[in-house]
Each structure stands twice: as structure tokens, then as C-alpha cells.
Amino acid sequence: MERKSEQLRNVGLVAHVGSGKTSLAEAMLFNGKSISKMGSVDQGNSAMDFEPEETGRKITINTAAHHCAWKKHTINIIDTPGDDNFISDARFGLQAVDGMVVVLDATAGVKVGTEKVWAFGDEQNLPRIVFVNKMDRERADFYKVVEGFSSAFNVNATPVFLPIGAEEEFEGLVDLIKMKAYVFSKDGSGKFTEQEIPADMGDQVAEWREKMVENIVEANDELMEKYLEGEELAPQEIEDTFIIGIKSRLIVPILCGSATLNMGVPQLMNLIVAGIPSPLERKPFEGTAPGGDEILQRNPEEDAPFSAIVFKTLADPFAGKLTLLRVLSGTLSSDAGLYNANKETKEKFGQILLPEGKKQQAVEQAITGDIIAFAKLKKTQTGDTLCQENGAIIYKAADPLPSVISYAVEAKVKGSEDKVFTSLAKLLDEDPTLKLERDQATSEIILSGTGQIHLEATCEKLNRKFGVEVNMSPVKIPYTETIKKSVQKVVYRHKKQSGGRGQFAEVHFDLSPLERGHGFEFEEALVGMNVPRNFVPAVEKGLNESIGNGILAGYPVVDLKVRFFDGKSHDVDSSEMAFKIAASMCLKKALQEATPVLLEPIMKLGITLPEEFMGDVMGDLNSRRGKVQGMDTQGRYQVIMAQAPMAEVLTYALDLNAMTGGRGTFKMEHSHYEEVPAQLVEKVIAAAKKAE
């Protein structure tokens, strides 16, 4: 079938983890004959969750794309992760779609993940359809879920199908628009028979149809007047206004069913085809010219210049990189040139591929609205814009969620540290939420991500794809040492006579503290000829080597000034080595007299959370030696600005999750250094000695 832009429907499946998105995708692909039998997430053979980390954990970790034919249209399905550790991927994936299906679990309703993906949909202004899944499960309650949904999101929630029965008695749906009942065979075939509405549901159906019509007429002023004046509305008028209402985001239709039994899924697919806008119905896309602020627009038309945004990268050690993108405007043939506007570089591509889960199908050309893939692009990363070189444009990409937890990773096999670093760097292409750095102070490789499971899955993938095994351990705190008072005229003489040539050097130092953050200063203030000037570099070298190792716990010494003002030398026995040793020993002696103290890094935190958790979180911050700096309101959430020692917040992500049921989020960055409280100094020193 030849693809036409107006017949494409790009839809993202989003939900809280475990609501059944991937099972729903499976049923849709089966109904659209893209797969011959429905796989299962529990059995690890679904078309969308194909990475071993996903089949092992039974959750979606990577956004996957596939397509199926339905009612002379092509539905492109983007299945996104709902687990908090990987939800950033959903944010990127929604850049590729024109509408989204929010999947709710009929036994659980709206959860924290639902709130997060709903907000991502707001960022992209996407129309949405709600599918209440798992109606066949114990404790499934459609009406309770609808009520919870309406209060959680301030929207015109409009059920357009009601369930016939629930739990194991769930048999089908009542269509409130067409006023018919559909009873399904429970064999996963998706087949149903059309019947009269069950007699015992008459009153319930009448009540909900009335509510539905009231919501629908709000999308059209003329229809609203007719309705309020008591005129009879034609079924076609209601249906047309309903579709306009979905596309303009005034109406959020709610359906129900069971993905694993393939009940209600054909009705959802009908509604996707009717209610999700085609790529050509989108408003013009806004971007900027490369290297400037000039605002440019691209109309979503097939004869507009070609442009596309990259929403996913998959790193494969055998096939190389696979880059997934959404064509926003124009068409691309397999012999055309490709330009990366972000990197200002040309990219060569082999074939244009349509992603089909873990496989791809080659096509001759890409059209507006297509979800396509390229293999082995050299420079392109997630978030980049690919376009024509003349009239290039850059679209603003979605931001990755901030990384909130860090671990030190070290190679299990000694000596393969460089391989660890380069292999991890390849996974960063695939996952922009990962951060990788070498800590200069502790020389550890630090891997940061959005949660503990995120980092564990990354290490599993590192081993599977690149054969690199690593251990994760808590990050070392980069403590430092400094002094509190000045000391004058500290003298140290280094003298060694042991047959043959001796060693002799004497140095006189003044030591004084500097302001925080000033590092180390060396001042040469010699007068007279007691010390030949050619020994000064040796003295400075001796000092630079010994400030790396303080006298309290062996941490680097910072924020002090050494003034080298006098000394003594010997014509024969003085050497650079002798002065280097003398300088080092004199510094150690001076530090002891200058009231040495330990400093610890203090982090700046911004914590966003619902109001009901404020008390718990503030109390917890106090127990972590935290200081609240201020508060703010952000929509329905409160924001606490605070500072806390790094040592107390290394695993804060896990604790905040536990305290707020996953609804609290935070950002953290380094702020400054402060003195370690006296009662904790011994503990830090003991730990440092033990580590040695």
C-alpha cells in the first residue's frame, strides 16, 4: 500500500509503568496484521520489548516504533517507557507523534507516572485519548478510574464507551455515540458481535450519554445553542463535533477494554484513525536558523523543504548506530543529501528504513509524517534536526530529565578502564539522560542517571553489547582540608650525613589561610643570598606534591598561602632533592600548628513535590543537616530550595521516592564547601584511614 501523509496516524502510547501499553501495542499490531500472533510481555516475546534488559525486567526501557494498517490508514505506534527510571525516553518519543493514548490500569487508576507523561503531552500540545485497560482483572472499576482521572487532570473527561460487566464478567462495550453494544469473544481475536444495549444498563447509559453530549456541544457554539434550546441533535452533528473536539484538545475521550484479551482495541483503533490529526493537520513547526536566533517556520506539507527531528538512537555493536526520526516536513528520496543543522555537517545514509520493532523495512522515499530510521550516521545524536542544507532549520528538542543519582563505576578486569569509558560513551548516544565524567579530585569514573534501576540496566547493557563488566560503588566524597589560622616563621632543616655526599636544606615559611575557593598560592619573598634562587622551583614542587595529601585524613589541602622568605644552604650538600624534601616536611609541620580543618562539599537542591509531603520532606532534610533556603509554588506542586552536605544526599533519589510515593522530583548541583562539624570529623578521618 502506498503511504500518503493524510492517511498516517502517529500515536504515542504512554502510561504509568505496568498499565499495559506494550500489550496494547501488541493487540493493535495483531489487529492490523503486522504480526501473526500476539506476543506477551510476561512471556518475553512481545514485538515492542525486545531488548534482554526489558524481557528480564518485564518493563519497557526503550521507546520502540512499529506500524500497522487499519481502515485504509497506517497507524505508527510509538511505545514509550512508563517506569520512572526511563520515563525521559517518553518525553523524546512524544516529539514524533501527533496524539497520544494514555493507558490507565482499571485496578489502579491515575498514578505518578500518569501525571508525568500527561505533562509531557502538554509540552507538545498533543490531543489525547484515554484507554482504561485490564477491565477483566480483579478489582477493575471503570467508574472509579474515570472519577479519579477527572479530579487529577482539569480536563473534559468524556467516556464514549461503557463496559458491559467487569472483572471476569467483562464481556464488551456500549458505544454511547452510536448507541450500540459490542460483545467480544474472549479468545484474543478481537472479534465481536453487534447487539442491543443490555436492558439492565438502560438508565446508566442514558445518564452517561447525556453527560457526553453536554461535553461535546461545548466544542461548537451553534450546536450548544441548539442543545440548550432543547432541539434534537442529529447523530452526525454529534459525531463531527466530537472529532473536532478531540483534535482541538477540548475533549478527552475515554474508552475501556482489555489489551491482553484484545477487547475494545478495535474501537480504540477506529478512534485513533478518526480523532488523532494527520501530520498535515498540524500547525507549522517553529525552529531557528543555525547559528542565530531568527525564528523560522516549516509547514507540514509534502512539497515543503525536508526536515526531521531525531527522537531516539539505538547503539548496536554489530549493526552500528540506528537513528530514529520523525519527518516534520517535505519528502526524502534515498539518493538525496542529508544535513545535520545542529552539528552543521553533511551526513551520508544508505537506505531509508521503516522501524518495525527490532526489525526494519527498506523504502524508496520518506514522506511528511513518516517515522523512519537510518543506520550508521556518524555525528547525529538524539535531539538533532536533519534537513536540507539550503534553508537549514533547527527544532528545539525536548530536554532530558535531570540525572539524580551517581555511582562510581570501575572495571572488573583491572587495566580495562579506558574500554569502560569509551563503551559507556557509546551508550550516552543512545540515552541522553546518562552523564559520564571523570572526577578530577578522586579520579573515579562517575556515571549518573535518573534512578538506581536506570544505572543497573545501563551496566547490564554495557556487558551485553560491549562485553565490559563493571562494579558500581558509592561515589567517594571529595573532602578537602584547609587551615584556620596563620603561623609565622616555621623552620625545617633537612640534614643527612651518611658517608659520601650529604644532603642539606633549610627553609623558613609563613602560612596563612585564603578565602574559600582560592586554592593554593606560593610566594617567593627571599632577600639576601642564604638560598640560591635556582632552588626555588624545587621548593615549589615539594609544596605542590604535598598539598595533595593533607595531615588529617590525606585529602587535598586548599585555600592557603605559603610565603617562602628565608632558609640556609650548603655549597656541596644542598641539592634540588634536599630542598624539595625540606619544603614538604616544613609544610606538614606548619599545617599542624595552623589549626587544620576538614571541608565537605555542599549541594544545592530544588525539590518539587505535592503539598501533602512538605512536612515529611522538610523533617527529613533537617535530619540530613540540610538548610531550607526558600519555597515557591509551581502549578499544583510546591518547590523547596535547600542546601545539604553531599555526604547526606548521595542516595536522596531513592529516599525522596519512598517518602513521596514517587511523586517528588529534584535537581541537584554543587554549591560550595563548608567545614565538617566537629562531631563528625573523627568519623570521616577513620573512614579515610580504613579505605587506605
- In whole angstroms, give the CA distance from residue 26 to residue 259: 8
- In whole angstroms, give the CA distance from residue 64 to residue 82: 13
29-33, 277-281, 418-422, range with the lowest pLDDT: 418-422
Q: Residues 16-68: pLDDT tens digits?
A: 888 889 999 999 999 999 988 887 777 767 777 667 677 777 777 788 899 99
Quick one: what percent of the chain has pLDDT higher than 70? 98
For the chain, list the domains and their CATH numbers: 5-281 (3.40.50.300), 285-387 (2.40.30.10), 409-474 (3.30.70.870), 481-594 (3.30.230.10), 599-691 (3.30.70.240)
186-195, 259-268, 351-360, range with the lowest pLDDT: 351-360
Contact between 170 and 163 under an 8 Å Cβ cutoff? The reply is yes
Confidence of residue 112 (pLDDT cuts 50, 70, 90): confident
Q: Residues 360-374: pLDDT tens digits?
A: 889 999 999 999 999
- In whole angstroms, give the CA distance from residue 12 to residue 210: 30
Which pLDDT value is given to residue 409?
92
Per-residue cell: 467: 562485553
Dihedral angle at the C-alpha atoms of 23, 25, 31, 32, nearest 10 degrees?
Answer: -160
Contact between 60 and 34 under an 8 Å Cβ cutoff? The reply is no
Which pLDDT value is given to residue 545?
94
Q: What is the mean pLDDT of the chain?
A: 91
Which pLDDT value is given to residue 316?
67
- In whole angstroms, give the CA distance from residue 579 to residue 586: 10
- In whole angstroms, give the CA distance from residue 319 to residue 430: 14
Q: Residues 500-552: pLDDT tens digits?
A: 778 999 999 999 999 998 999 999 999 888 999 999 999 999 999 999 999 99
Give the orientation angle of helix 614-623 with respect to helix 652-660, to 10 degrees: 150
Task: Tell whether the model's pLDDT for residue 491 goes beyond 70.
Answer: yes
Cα maximum dimension of the chain = 119
**665 - beta bridge partners?**
608
Which pLDDT value is given to residue 50?
65
Which pLDDT value is given to residue 52?
67
Confidence of residue 319 (pLDDT cuts 50, 70, 90): low
294-308, 355-369, 408-422, 621-635, range with the lowest pLDDT: 408-422
Helix (H, G, I), strand (E, B) or coil at 16: coil
Residue 204 phi/psi, 5-degree rounding, is -60, -45
- In whole angstroms, give the CA distance from residue 561 to residue 557: 11
Which pLDDT value is given to residue 413?
84
Task: Tell whether the model's pLDDT for residue 430 goes beyond 90.
Answer: no
Which pLDDT value is given to residue 63?
85
Question: Which ranges of 159-303 does DSSP label H, i.e. alpha helix?
Answer: 202-217, 221-228, 235-247, 265-275
Q: What is the mean pLDDT of residues 558-568?
A: 96
Residues contacting residue 162 through CB under 8 Å, at least 6 positions apart: 142, 173, 174, 176, 201, 204, 205, 208, 256
Q: What is the mean pLDDT of residues 344-368?
A: 91
Confidence of residue 232 (pLDDT cuts 50, 70, 90): confident
Contact between 538 and 548 under an 8 Å Cβ cutoff? The reply is no
Q: In Å, what is the CA distance from 326 to each residue of 10, 113, 298? A: 10, 25, 14
b/e map 504-535, b = 16+ CB within 10 Å: bbbbbbbbbbeeeeeeeebeeebeeeebeeeb
Helix (H, G, I), strand (E, B) or coil at 492: strand
Helix (H, G, I), strand (E, B) or coil at 93: helix
Which pLDDT value is given to residue 282?
95
